[in-house]
Amino acid sequence: MAPRLPLPPIPPLAVPREVRRAVRLTLLTALTTLFGYGLFLFFGFLRDLFRRLLLDRAEPDELMGYAPICPAFEDFYTRRIYRRIQDCFGRPIASAPDAWIDVVERSSNDNNKTLHRTSNKSRCLNLGSYNYLGFAAGDEFCTPHVLHSLKKYAPSSCSARADGGTTQLHIELEDLIARFVGKPAAITFAMGYVTNSFIIPTLIGEGGLIISDSFNHNSIVSGSRASGATVQVFQHNSPSHLEAVLREQVVKGQPGTGHKPWRKIMVIVEGVYSMEGEFCKLPEIVAICKKYKAYIYLDEAHSIGAVGKSGRGVCELLGVDPADVDIMMGTFTKSFGSCGGYIAASEEIIQYLKYACPAHIYATSMSPPAVQQVISAIKVVLGEDRSNRGAKKLAKIRENSNFFRSELKKMGFVVLGDNDSPVMAIMLYNLAKLPAFSRACLRQNVAVVITAYPATPVLLARARICISASHSKEDLITGLKVIGEVGGLVGAKCLPAEPEKAKKLD
C-alpha cells in the first residue's frame, strides 16, 4: 500500500465480470466491504467536523493565505484510515531478506498515530520479499565477486553514465543481459521504477497512443502520463478487449485532427502482474499487435529470472520469440538480489536511449558492486559458475510456489495467481480483516504483506505472498499452518476446505 501517492477517486461498485469471477466476489462480500469503508469515512468526517467546530475555530497564523499542501481527501484517508493500521506497513527489518528475517518490534503510546522502534526483534518467516532465487542473502559465488568489485571500483561511480559513470562492469552487464533475454542490445539504470517512468516518455510523446493494461504498475502509469501521449486502458489480461480498443483507435485516429493517423501505437503489459501473480496472455497479445502494427512494451520486473525453464521470463515460458517483443524491460531488485533495471531492444533503440533518456544522461549510474551482484547471479542461473545451482534454484521456486498455492486453495482460501508464478494473493476483501490477519501472523512469527486501496481496487484487499527458492519445505509448512489458523480466525476462508489435507500438514 502506498499512502503517500496521490489518491485517485474511489471507484464505483462495478467490478469487471472476469475479475469478479476470478476473486469469487459476491454481492454480500462487496456490500459488507463497502459498509466497512462507509463507517470509517462517516466517523472520520464526524470527528473532523467536531474538531473544526470545537478546537480549530481560527486558522493557524502560519497557514494564513496558503493553500493546503496535501490534497484534502489524501490527508483525510491517511489520518483516519491508514494511520489506524500503519503498524502493519513499513516494518523495519534488521537482517538480510532471506527465508527468515529479524523484524524490529515497534510500540505506540498514542493509538498507533506514532510508532517508535524498540530494541526487540522477532525472528519471522519471510513471505513478503521479492527474493525469488535467494540471492539477496550471502551467496557462495556472488558474495566474493561483489566484495572484490567493492575494493576495485568503490561503492559508487559518483557520476552519470553519460559522464564518467560507465565502468567495465556496466558494459559487461549490458552485454550479458542482452544475451540472457535474447535481444541485440541492452541499457541499464540505477532504479527499476525510473526505468519505466523515464523510458516511456522517451519512446513516445504527443501524437502517440499508449494502450495499457488496467492493472499495470504505478511506474508505467507515471511514465504514460508524463509522455504526453494519449492513454487508453484495456481490461486486465483481455486480448479481445485489447483488439477492440486497438481497432477503434486505428479507425478514429488522433482526436481533433480529422482522423489523422497516430504517430505510433504502443501496447504495455507486464509479464507477471505484481498484485495478482498472473501471467500476461503474451502470445495472443503479440498476434494482435502484429495485426495492427503496434509496438509491444513488456515489463518483466517480476518474471525475469523467476520463470521459464532457464529463468528467461515469460517469453521462454509461453513460447514467444523475443524478436516479437519490441521493448523488454526488467529489474534486478527481485530475482537477482540487487538494484536497478534494464531495457533490452534493438541496437538502434538502445543507441537512441543513450542519447535521449534523462535517466541515462543525468542520473547516477548503478553502484559497481550492485552491477557485479547481477552479473554473478545471472552467471549462476546460466550455469556459468561451473555448477548446477541455478537450475536447482529455478526448479525449487517452481516447486515451492505450486505447493504453497495448491495448499492454500485446499484450505479454502481464494488465491489469485497462475501455476509457476512466485507471487500469489490471498483475498481478504474487508478492510478490517487486513490488520487482524497481519498482526495475528506476526504474533506467530510469520511476516506477510497486506495491501488495499489505493494499491488495489476498493473491493479487492488482499495479502500478497512472495515465495523464494530459499524456502525449505519445512518453512512452507510452518507458514501454511499459521496462515490456515489465522485465516480461520478472521473469516478469510471463502471456499470449502479439504479436511484430509489438513491432517497431512500436521
What is the per-residue pLDDT for 400?
97
Number of helices (H), then strands (E), belonging to the chain: the values are 17, 14
SS3 424: strand
**Residue 129 grid cell:** 520479499
DSSP states of 146-161: HHHHHHHH-S---SBT
User: Which part of the chain has CATH 3.90.1150.10?
Assistant: 85-126+392-505
Number of Cβ within 10 Å of residue 481's Cβ equals 17
Query: Taking the model in full, what pTM does it have?
Result: 0.90
- Grouping H, G, I as helix, E, B as strand and the rest as coil, residue 330 is strand
Check if the beta carbon of residue 273 is closer than 8 Å to that of residue 300.
no
Q: What are 282-333's pLDDT values in tens digits?
A: 999 999 999 999 999 999 999 999 999 999 999 999 999 999 999 999 999 9
- Distance, in Å, from the CA atom of 168 to the CA atom of 332, rounded to the nearest integer, reads 18
Q: Shortest CA distance to 342 belongs to which of 131, 157, 195? A: 195
In tens, the pLDDT along 222-255 reads 999 999 999 999 999 999 999 999 999 999 999 8
CATH class of the domain whose range is 167-367: alpha beta
The answer to whether the Cα torsion of 366, 183, 374, 172 is positive or negative is negative
Distance CA 319, CA 128 (A): 29
The residue ranges of the chain whose pLDDT is under 70 are: 1-24, 56-64, 497-506
List where CATH 3.40.640.10 sits in the chain.
Answer: 167-367
Distances (CA, A) of 449 to 141, 218, 284, 437: 30, 18, 32, 10
Per the DSSP assignment, residues forming a β-bridge with 253 are none
Any idea which residue has 496472455 for its cell?
A: 281
By CB atoms closer than 10 A (0-12, 13-18, 19+), residue 4 is exposed
Residue with cell 475555530: 57
Q: What is the pLDDT of residue 5?
A: 40
The pLDDT assigned to 11 comes to: 41
What pLDDT does 23 receive? 60
State the CATH class of domain 85-126+392-505. Answer: alpha beta
Strand order in the sheet with 423-429: 415-416, 423-429, 461-466, 449-451
Specify burial of residue 502 (Cβ count, 10 A radius: 0-12, 13-18, 19+).
middle
Helix crossing, 72-80 with 27-54: angle to 10°? 100
**E-assigned strands of 310-353?**
327-331, 341-345
**pLDDT in the model for residue 8:** 41
**What pLDDT sits at residue 500?**
54
Residue 310 gets which letter from DSSP?
T
